[in-house]
Amino acid sequence: MKQPTRYHDLSDPQARPRYTGIASFFRAAHTERLDEVDIGVIGVPYDGGVTNRPGARHGPRAVREQSALLRRISAATGVAPFATARVRDLGDCWLERPFALEGALDEIAAFYRGVVGAGVVPLSVGGDHSISLPILRALGASRPVGMVHIDAHCDTGDDYMGSRFHHGAPFRRAVDEGLLDPTRVIQIGIRGTVNDPDMWGFSTRSGMRVLGMDEFADNGWHFAAEEARRVAGSGPTYLTFDIDSLDPSQAPGTGTPEAGGITALEALRLLRALRGLDFVGADLVEVSPPFDVGGLTAFNGASILFELLCLLVESWQIRHGATRSVKS
Ligand code: MN
Ligand code: MN
Protein backbone atom coordinates (compact mmCIF):
# COMPACT_ATOMS: atom_id res chain seq x y z
CA MET A 1 0.00 0.00 0.00
CA LYS A 2 1.33 3.45 -0.92
CA GLN A 3 2.20 5.56 2.12
CA PRO A 4 0.81 9.10 2.25
CA THR A 5 3.32 11.81 1.43
CA ARG A 6 4.64 13.79 4.41
CA TYR A 7 4.76 17.51 3.82
CA HIS A 8 7.67 18.72 5.98
CA ASP A 9 7.04 22.22 4.69
CA LEU A 10 3.98 22.34 6.94
CA SER A 11 6.25 23.31 9.82
CA ASP A 12 6.38 26.65 8.01
CA PRO A 13 3.19 28.55 8.84
CA GLN A 14 3.34 30.34 5.49
CA ALA A 15 3.17 26.98 3.72
CA ARG A 16 0.14 25.60 5.53
CA PRO A 17 -3.30 25.90 3.94
CA ARG A 18 -3.77 29.61 4.14
CA TYR A 19 -7.32 29.50 5.50
CA THR A 20 -6.17 27.60 8.61
CA GLY A 21 -4.68 28.68 11.90
CA ILE A 22 -4.64 31.99 13.73
CA ALA A 23 -4.47 34.97 11.39
CA SER A 24 -1.20 36.75 12.14
CA PHE A 25 0.23 39.20 9.59
CA PHE A 26 1.17 37.04 6.55
CA ARG A 27 0.79 34.01 8.83
CA ALA A 28 4.20 34.90 10.29
CA ALA A 29 5.03 33.53 13.72
CA HIS A 30 3.94 35.76 16.60
CA THR A 31 6.50 36.76 19.22
CA GLU A 32 7.15 39.60 21.64
CA ARG A 33 10.85 38.70 21.93
CA LEU A 34 12.61 41.45 20.01
CA ASP A 35 15.95 39.61 19.91
CA GLU A 36 14.40 37.00 17.56
CA VAL A 37 13.23 39.54 14.99
CA ASP A 38 14.67 41.51 12.05
CA ILE A 39 11.42 42.93 10.64
CA GLY A 40 8.56 43.33 13.12
CA VAL A 41 5.02 43.70 11.77
CA ILE A 42 3.05 45.62 14.39
CA GLY A 43 -0.62 46.51 14.73
CA VAL A 44 -1.49 49.93 16.12
CA PRO A 45 -5.25 49.71 16.74
CA TYR A 46 -5.66 53.39 17.50
CA ASP A 47 -7.96 55.92 15.79
CA GLY A 48 -8.22 58.67 18.39
CA GLY A 49 -6.89 61.19 15.86
CA VAL A 50 -9.64 60.90 13.23
CA THR A 51 -11.46 64.08 12.24
CA ASN A 52 -14.34 62.35 10.43
CA ARG A 53 -15.48 58.73 10.07
CA PRO A 54 -13.80 56.44 12.63
CA GLY A 55 -13.06 52.71 12.60
CA ALA A 56 -9.36 52.44 11.72
CA ARG A 57 -8.77 50.97 15.19
CA HIS A 58 -10.15 47.78 13.66
CA GLY A 59 -7.64 47.94 10.78
CA PRO A 60 -4.91 45.64 12.13
CA ARG A 61 -7.27 42.73 12.75
CA ALA A 62 -8.88 43.01 9.28
CA VAL A 63 -5.51 43.31 7.54
CA ARG A 64 -4.19 40.28 9.48
CA GLU A 65 -7.19 38.30 8.25
CA GLN A 66 -6.80 39.34 4.59
CA SER A 67 -2.99 39.04 4.65
CA ALA A 68 -3.40 35.30 5.20
CA LEU A 69 -4.32 35.11 1.50
CA LEU A 70 -0.82 36.16 0.47
CA ARG A 71 1.94 33.69 -0.37
CA ARG A 72 5.66 33.69 0.32
CA ILE A 73 7.40 35.07 -2.75
CA SER A 74 6.76 38.10 -4.97
CA ALA A 75 6.04 36.81 -8.46
CA ALA A 76 6.95 40.23 -9.87
CA THR A 77 10.39 40.67 -8.29
CA GLY A 78 11.35 37.26 -6.88
CA VAL A 79 11.82 38.80 -3.43
CA ALA A 80 11.23 36.15 -0.73
CA PRO A 81 10.92 38.16 2.46
CA PHE A 82 10.35 35.26 4.87
CA ALA A 83 13.38 33.36 3.56
CA THR A 84 15.61 36.43 3.75
CA ALA A 85 14.98 37.96 7.18
CA ARG A 86 13.28 36.96 10.40
CA VAL A 87 9.83 38.47 9.83
CA ARG A 88 7.56 38.21 12.87
CA ASP A 89 4.17 39.50 13.99
CA LEU A 90 4.96 41.48 17.14
CA GLY A 91 1.28 41.75 18.04
CA ASP A 92 -0.36 45.07 18.82
CA CYS A 93 1.08 48.20 20.40
CA TRP A 94 -0.83 48.31 23.70
CA LEU A 95 -2.03 51.57 25.17
CA GLU A 96 -2.82 52.01 28.83
CA ARG A 97 -4.76 55.24 28.23
CA PRO A 98 -6.10 55.10 24.67
CA PHE A 99 -8.69 57.87 25.03
CA ALA A 100 -6.34 60.83 25.50
CA LEU A 101 -4.76 61.67 22.15
CA GLU A 102 -1.42 63.23 23.10
CA GLY A 103 -0.78 60.74 25.89
CA ALA A 104 -1.62 57.84 23.58
CA LEU A 105 0.87 59.12 21.01
CA ASP A 106 3.51 59.32 23.79
CA GLU A 107 2.77 55.70 24.68
CA ILE A 108 3.11 54.64 21.03
CA ALA A 109 6.44 56.49 20.81
CA ALA A 110 7.71 54.69 23.93
CA PHE A 111 6.75 51.31 22.44
CA TYR A 112 8.57 52.11 19.19
CA ARG A 113 11.69 53.35 20.99
CA GLY A 114 11.93 49.83 22.39
CA VAL A 115 11.46 48.24 18.97
CA VAL A 116 13.94 50.52 17.19
CA GLY A 117 16.41 50.33 20.10
CA ALA A 118 16.48 46.54 19.71
CA GLY A 119 17.45 46.91 16.05
CA VAL A 120 14.08 45.75 14.75
CA VAL A 121 12.74 47.40 11.56
CA PRO A 122 9.06 48.28 12.17
CA LEU A 123 6.32 47.65 9.60
CA SER A 124 3.15 49.05 11.15
CA VAL A 125 -0.54 48.77 10.42
CA GLY A 126 -2.88 51.44 11.75
CA GLY A 127 -4.85 52.89 13.01
CA ASP A 128 -5.30 56.42 11.73
CA HIS A 129 -2.45 58.53 10.33
CA SER A 130 -1.72 60.21 13.67
CA ILE A 131 0.29 57.09 14.59
CA SER A 132 3.05 57.92 12.11
CA LEU A 133 4.23 60.83 14.29
CA PRO A 134 5.14 58.71 17.35
CA ILE A 135 6.75 56.09 15.09
CA LEU A 136 8.90 58.86 13.58
CA ARG A 137 9.78 60.02 17.10
CA ALA A 138 11.56 56.70 17.49
CA LEU A 139 12.97 56.38 13.95
CA GLY A 140 13.98 60.03 13.56
CA ALA A 141 15.35 60.55 17.08
CA SER A 142 19.05 60.59 16.13
CA ARG A 143 18.68 62.44 12.78
CA PRO A 144 15.82 63.59 10.56
CA VAL A 145 14.73 61.06 7.93
CA GLY A 146 13.30 61.45 4.42
CA MET A 147 9.85 60.14 3.55
CA VAL A 148 7.83 58.77 0.67
CA HIS A 149 4.21 59.58 1.57
CA ILE A 150 1.37 58.19 -0.55
CA ASP A 151 -1.98 59.70 0.41
CA ALA A 152 -4.94 61.72 -0.88
CA HIS A 153 -4.03 64.32 1.77
CA CYS A 154 -0.78 66.05 2.73
CA ASP A 155 -1.47 65.72 6.48
CA THR A 156 0.52 68.87 7.13
CA GLY A 157 -2.36 70.82 8.68
CA ASP A 158 -2.19 72.62 11.98
CA ASP A 159 -4.52 73.24 14.90
CA TYR A 160 -8.00 71.89 14.17
CA MET A 161 -10.69 72.47 16.78
CA GLY A 162 -8.09 72.70 19.51
CA SER A 163 -5.89 69.75 18.55
CA ARG A 164 -2.51 69.79 16.84
CA PHE A 165 -2.09 66.00 16.83
CA HIS A 166 -5.10 64.81 14.79
CA HIS A 167 -4.55 62.62 11.69
CA GLY A 168 -4.40 65.62 9.35
CA ALA A 169 -1.27 67.10 10.93
CA PRO A 170 1.38 64.45 11.80
CA PHE A 171 3.94 65.49 9.20
CA ARG A 172 3.87 69.17 10.13
CA ARG A 173 4.51 68.14 13.74
CA ALA A 174 7.26 65.78 12.57
CA VAL A 175 9.03 68.68 10.82
CA ASP A 176 8.50 70.90 13.91
CA GLU A 177 10.06 68.20 16.08
CA GLY A 178 13.06 67.77 13.77
CA LEU A 179 12.15 64.19 12.82
CA LEU A 180 11.66 64.75 9.09
CA ASP A 181 13.89 66.55 6.57
CA PRO A 182 11.17 68.24 4.46
CA THR A 183 13.52 68.61 1.47
CA ARG A 184 13.66 64.79 1.36
CA VAL A 185 9.87 64.32 1.56
CA ILE A 186 7.58 63.58 -1.41
CA GLN A 187 3.79 63.40 -1.12
CA ILE A 188 2.05 61.46 -3.91
CA GLY A 189 -1.65 61.26 -4.84
CA ILE A 190 -2.89 64.52 -3.26
CA ARG A 191 -6.40 65.57 -4.35
CA GLY A 192 -9.93 66.43 -3.31
CA THR A 193 -11.52 69.44 -1.67
CA VAL A 194 -10.15 71.72 1.06
CA ASN A 195 -11.66 74.04 3.64
CA ASP A 196 -8.90 76.62 3.21
CA PRO A 197 -6.87 77.25 0.03
CA ASP A 198 -3.75 77.13 2.20
CA MET A 199 -4.74 73.89 4.00
CA TRP A 200 -1.59 72.08 2.80
CA GLY A 201 0.57 75.19 2.26
CA PHE A 202 3.06 74.05 4.89
CA SER A 203 4.17 71.22 2.59
CA THR A 204 5.45 73.44 -0.20
CA ARG A 205 6.65 76.21 2.14
CA SER A 206 8.82 73.74 4.05
CA GLY A 207 10.30 72.32 0.82
CA MET A 208 8.35 69.08 0.37
CA ARG A 209 7.64 67.86 -3.17
CA VAL A 210 3.87 67.60 -3.60
CA LEU A 211 2.94 65.37 -6.56
CA GLY A 212 -0.80 65.80 -6.92
CA MET A 213 -3.19 63.34 -8.49
CA ASP A 214 -3.50 65.24 -11.79
CA GLU A 215 0.28 65.18 -12.23
CA PHE A 216 0.27 61.48 -11.32
CA ALA A 217 -2.49 60.69 -13.84
CA ASP A 218 -0.76 62.69 -16.59
CA ASN A 219 2.70 61.18 -16.07
CA GLY A 220 2.08 57.76 -14.51
CA TRP A 221 3.44 55.65 -11.67
CA HIS A 222 6.87 55.39 -13.28
CA PHE A 223 7.33 59.16 -13.19
CA ALA A 224 6.15 59.28 -9.58
CA ALA A 225 8.71 56.62 -8.66
CA GLU A 226 11.50 58.55 -10.40
CA GLU A 227 10.53 61.69 -8.52
CA ALA A 228 10.43 59.77 -5.22
CA ARG A 229 13.92 58.39 -5.84
CA ARG A 230 15.25 61.84 -6.73
CA VAL A 231 13.69 63.55 -3.68
CA ALA A 232 14.42 60.87 -1.05
CA GLY A 233 17.97 60.26 -2.29
CA SER A 234 20.28 57.82 -0.55
CA GLY A 235 19.64 58.70 3.09
CA PRO A 236 17.43 56.87 5.60
CA THR A 237 13.81 57.10 4.49
CA TYR A 238 10.39 56.28 5.95
CA LEU A 239 7.53 55.04 3.78
CA THR A 240 3.95 55.80 4.78
CA PHE A 241 0.95 54.57 2.78
CA ASP A 242 -2.52 55.95 3.51
CA ILE A 243 -5.07 53.60 1.96
CA ASP A 244 -7.22 56.61 0.98
CA SER A 245 -4.63 57.30 -1.75
CA LEU A 246 -6.32 54.47 -3.65
CA ASP A 247 -9.46 55.16 -5.62
CA PRO A 248 -12.55 54.68 -3.40
CA SER A 249 -13.79 52.02 -5.85
CA GLN A 250 -10.84 49.87 -4.70
CA ALA A 251 -10.63 51.12 -1.12
CA PRO A 252 -14.06 52.15 0.15
CA GLY A 253 -13.22 51.18 3.73
CA THR A 254 -11.55 54.36 4.90
CA GLY A 255 -12.54 57.43 6.88
CA THR A 256 -11.95 60.30 4.45
CA PRO A 257 -12.24 59.00 0.87
CA GLU A 258 -11.50 61.23 -2.13
CA ALA A 259 -12.72 60.45 -5.66
CA GLY A 260 -10.31 59.89 -8.53
CA GLY A 261 -7.38 58.09 -6.91
CA ILE A 262 -4.54 55.67 -7.62
CA THR A 263 -5.42 52.12 -8.68
CA ALA A 264 -4.12 49.16 -6.69
CA LEU A 265 -2.04 48.10 -9.70
CA GLU A 266 -0.45 51.54 -10.02
CA ALA A 267 0.35 51.53 -6.31
CA LEU A 268 1.95 48.07 -6.42
CA ARG A 269 4.09 49.03 -9.43
CA LEU A 270 5.05 52.38 -7.90
CA LEU A 271 6.21 50.64 -4.72
CA ARG A 272 8.21 47.99 -6.60
CA ALA A 273 9.97 50.81 -8.48
CA LEU A 274 11.29 52.16 -5.14
CA ARG A 275 13.62 49.18 -4.58
CA GLY A 276 17.06 50.21 -3.42
CA LEU A 277 16.07 53.26 -1.38
CA ASP A 278 17.21 53.00 2.24
CA PHE A 279 13.88 52.36 3.97
CA VAL A 280 14.15 52.21 7.76
CA GLY A 281 10.45 51.63 8.45
CA ALA A 282 7.02 51.77 6.85
CA ASP A 283 3.34 51.86 7.68
CA LEU A 284 -0.09 51.24 6.17
CA VAL A 285 -2.82 53.36 7.75
CA GLU A 286 -6.49 54.36 7.60
CA VAL A 287 -8.07 50.99 6.73
CA SER A 288 -11.50 51.29 8.40
CA PRO A 289 -13.30 47.91 8.27
CA PRO A 290 -16.75 49.23 9.28
CA PHE A 291 -16.88 51.09 5.92
CA ASP A 292 -15.36 48.24 3.93
CA VAL A 293 -17.15 46.08 1.35
CA GLY A 294 -16.37 42.36 1.42
CA GLY A 295 -12.89 42.92 2.85
CA LEU A 296 -11.80 44.65 -0.36
CA THR A 297 -9.95 47.54 1.29
CA ALA A 298 -8.24 45.30 3.84
CA PHE A 299 -7.22 42.90 1.05
CA ASN A 300 -5.76 45.65 -1.13
CA GLY A 301 -4.13 47.01 2.02
CA ALA A 302 -2.58 43.62 2.81
CA SER A 303 -1.29 43.42 -0.76
CA ILE A 304 0.28 46.87 -0.39
CA LEU A 305 1.69 45.75 2.97
CA PHE A 306 3.45 42.82 1.27
CA GLU A 307 5.21 45.27 -1.07
CA LEU A 308 6.23 47.41 1.91
CA LEU A 309 7.60 44.27 3.57
CA CYS A 310 9.63 43.38 0.47
CA LEU A 311 11.11 46.90 0.38
CA LEU A 312 12.03 46.81 4.08
CA VAL A 313 13.61 43.36 3.80
CA GLU A 314 15.72 44.41 0.82
CA SER A 315 16.85 47.62 2.55
CA TRP A 316 17.67 45.66 5.70
CA GLN A 317 19.64 43.17 3.63
CA ILE A 318 21.65 45.92 1.92
CA ARG A 319 22.45 47.60 5.27
CA HIS A 320 23.54 44.34 6.90
CA GLY A 321 25.14 42.69 3.88
CA ALA A 322 23.08 39.72 4.99
CA THR A 323 22.49 36.59 2.96
CA ARG A 324 20.71 34.68 5.66
CA SER A 325 18.62 31.62 4.99
CA VAL A 326 15.63 31.61 7.27
CA LYS A 327 13.25 28.71 7.74
CA SER A 328 10.15 30.69 8.66
MN1 MN B 1 -3.18 60.44 5.76
MN1 MN C 1 -5.55 60.53 3.63
Percent of the chain with pLDDT over 70: 98
pLDDT digit string (tens) for 132-189? 999 999 999 999 999 999 999 999 999 999 999 999 999 999 999 999 999 999 999 9
Q: Does position 326 have pLDDT exceeding 80, yes or no?
A: no
Dist. CA 245 → ligand 2 center (Å)? 6
Q: Does domain 33-320 have CATH number 1.25.40.10?
A: no
pLDDT score, position 185: 98
pLDDT digit string (tens) for 257-306? 999 999 999 999 999 999 999 999 999 999 999 999 999 999 999 999 99
Q: Does position 11 have pLDDT exceeding 90, yes or no?
A: no
Q: What is the mean pLDDT of residues 112-123?
A: 98
Whose CA is closest to 44, among 25, 64, 22, 59? 59
- Whole-angstrom distance, CA of residue 202 vs CA of residue 154: 9
Q: Does position 323 have pLDDT exceeding 80, yes or no?
A: no
Q: Does position 197 have pLDDT exceeding 70, yes or no?
A: yes
Q: Does position 316 have pLDDT exceeding 90, yes or no?
A: yes
pLDDT score, position 13: 84
Amino acid at 65: E
Q: Is this structure's pTM higher than 0.85?
A: yes
Dist. CA 3 → ligand 2 center (Å)? 56
The answer to whether residues 236 and 278 touch, using CB atoms and an 8 Å cutoff, is: yes
Dist. CA 255 → ligand 2 center (Å)? 8
Dist. CA 49 → ligand 2 center (Å)? 12
Dist. CA 324 → ligand 2 center (Å)? 37
Q: Where residue 15 falls among pLDDT bands split at 50, 70, 90? A: confident
State the burial class of residue 80 (Cβ atoms within 10 Å of its Cβ: 0-12, 13-18, 19+).
Answer: middle
Return the higher-pLDDT residue of 324 and 57. Answer: 57
Handedness of CA 107, 108, 113, 115 (dihedral sign): positive
- Ion ligand 1: residue ranges with CB closer than 5 A: 129, 151, 155, 242
